[in-house]
Amino acid sequence: MSDHQTSVFSQIARAPEDPILGVTVAYNKDSHPSKLNLGVGAYRTEEGKPLVLNVVRQAEQKLVNDPSRVKEYLPIVGLADFNKCSAKLIFGADSPAIHENRVATVQCLSGTGSLRVGGEFLAKHYYERTIYIPSPTWGNHPKVFTLAGLSVKTYRYYDPATRGLDFQGLVEDLGNAPQGAIVLLHACAHNPTGVDPTVDQWEQIRKLMRSKGLLPFFDSAYQGFASGSLDTDAQSVRMFVADGGECFAAQSYAKNMGLYAERVGALSIVCKTADVASRVESQLKLVIRPMYSNPPLHGASIVATILKDSNLYNEWTVELKAMADRIISMRKQLLEALQARGTPGDWTHIIKQIGMFTFTGLNADQVAFMTKEYHIYMTSDGRISMAGLSSKTVPHLADAMHAAVTSMP
Ligand code: KET
């Protein structure tokens, strides 16, 4: 029975806010003057302002001044220059895989879109539809891959007792994975833990995975943000490409170029031969066309302009290093502030962890307390975006952490 007063959706349940982006929604509703958003991984300046990189401004100016530019559709795979430069950025300009035309690269909607297109491709064309993701991992990973049609399992990654890598657990779990299973790896600056394998451990992971035919799928959302060097942060990926084996890489320019809202990223699939790569690319087009047809032009043009021009590229590396260094200095300041307050516990993991986030070890109740009493917003797993912190706000955060730890141990 239907009547015109009743919506066909009247039975619909209200969905919860996203665990990460919902933190910003709650923050925006708070009118307290000293509120602080340390939820989403977005870089802010010492003044607490979003940053548009100088090289991005310059590239945009160049684009605006070029009257030959038009707004025609891009090809399904995106901007050719952007794809070429993106592959070079992650695999290295001298990568044999690139020179041998064994890499299929498609422009996608930032890191998330690249993961989703890669996931859909695998669900359609790969024989083992299980993907292993680290525990814990970025909260969107299980949703992206499940909706893509893969079956998601986890492998041990982080040990809360040592606040470090559970290397033995990782090796055991990947060792027990079925032959051919897909393995999601964070290329660097693991989110949310800030804990990365050492080069030696990467080598062991690589050998184990290759011996079992496990398929590596790298998520590279923070290249340059971990060490401040684009090459150092791509080392894990390059080790897996150097052995001649196959590998997936999803790149995002949201963080390292500050292009969050432009939604610009790339999916690369390194194949054994050029012939396979070109057939893979032809099938990627069949995934993309019915999903969003073809990608947007503006962000990709900015990235290509910067990556093609050696002056802009060099300037970018300097600006990127400055962002990475500011985060490292926030780590030092926060640790010192907690030590100065005599906050119970060992907090040295704050300076040992890498990348945008500190995985504090604070529990959900302590986080809720800090939000209620101090108007500090962060994800309930105790993750703090260090990029949202400044010298001015460190004392406020340290006060809140101290109170949370001492009043609700
Ligand atoms: N991978 C990882 C590991 C990641 O942390 C993010 C974003 C992405 C991919 C996707 O980013 P994109 O904007 O699609 O290029 N992480 C931050 C923002 C978010 O959750 O969307 C975050 O963890 O705060």
Q: Which phi and psi (to 5°) does residue 359 adopt?
A: -95, 95
Task: Tell me which of 166, 173, 196, 255 is the catalytic residue.
Answer: 255
The span from the CA of 364 to the CA of 375, in Å, is 15
The pLDDT, as a whole number, for residue 408 is 87
Q: In this predicted structure, what is the pLDDT of residue 5?
A: 75
- Give the burial class of 207: count Cβ atoms within 10 A of its Cβ; 0-12 exposed, 13-18 middle, 19 or more buried: exposed
Sign of the Cα torsion 72, 75, 80, 82 reads positive
Q: Is 372 considered catalytic here? A: no
Mutate to test the pocket of ligand 1, among 138, 157, 190, 264 (most ligand atoms within 8 A of CB): 138
Tokens of residue 123, six digits:
């669900």
Residue-level pLDDT at 3:
58
| Count of beta carbons in the 10 Å neighbourhood of residue 400 | 22
Residue 140 to residue 18: CA distance in whole angstroms: 9
269 exposed, middle or buried (CB, 10 Å; 0-12, 13-18, 19+)? buried
Q: Tell me if residue 365 is catalytic.
A: no
Tell me which H or E stretch contains 87. helix 80-91
- Give the pLDDT confidence score for residue 4 in this predicted structure: 63
Tens digit of pLDDT per residue, the chain (409 long)? 555 679 999 999 999 999 999 999 999 999 999 999 999 999 999 999 999 999 999 999 999 999 999 999 999 999 999 999 999 999 999 999 999 999 999 999 999 999 999 999 999 999 999 999 999 999 999 999 999 999 999 999 999 999 999 999 999 999 999 999 999 999 999 999 999 999 999 999 999 999 999 999 999 999 999 999 999 999 999 999 999 999 999 999 999 999 999 999 999 999 999 999 999 999 999 999 999 999 999 999 999 999 999 999 999 999 999 999 999 999 999 999 999 999 999 999 999 999 999 999 999 999 999 999 999 999 999 999 999 999 999 999 999 999 999 998 8
Question: Any idea what DSSP says for residue 227?
Answer: S
Pairing between β-strand 130-135 and β-strand 151-156 as defined by DSSP bridges: parallel
Name the residue among 115, 111, 162, 166 with its Cα closest to residue 136.
166
> Which three-class secondary structure state does DSSP give residue 102?
coil
Beta bridge partners of 358: 384
* Ligand 1 surroundings by CB, under 6 angstroms: 20, 40-41, 110-112, 138, 140, 186, 191, 219, 221, 252, 254, 265
Tokens of 99: 């020179």
CA of 281 to the centre of ligand 1 (A): 25
Distance CA 236, CA 243 (A): 12
Single pTM value for the model = 0.96
- With beta carbons less than 8 A apart as the criterion, state whether 124 and 283 touch: yes
Q: Over the Cα atoms of the chain, what is R_g?
A: 22
CB 142 within 8 A of CB 295: no
* Pairing mode, strands 357-359 and 182-186: unpaired
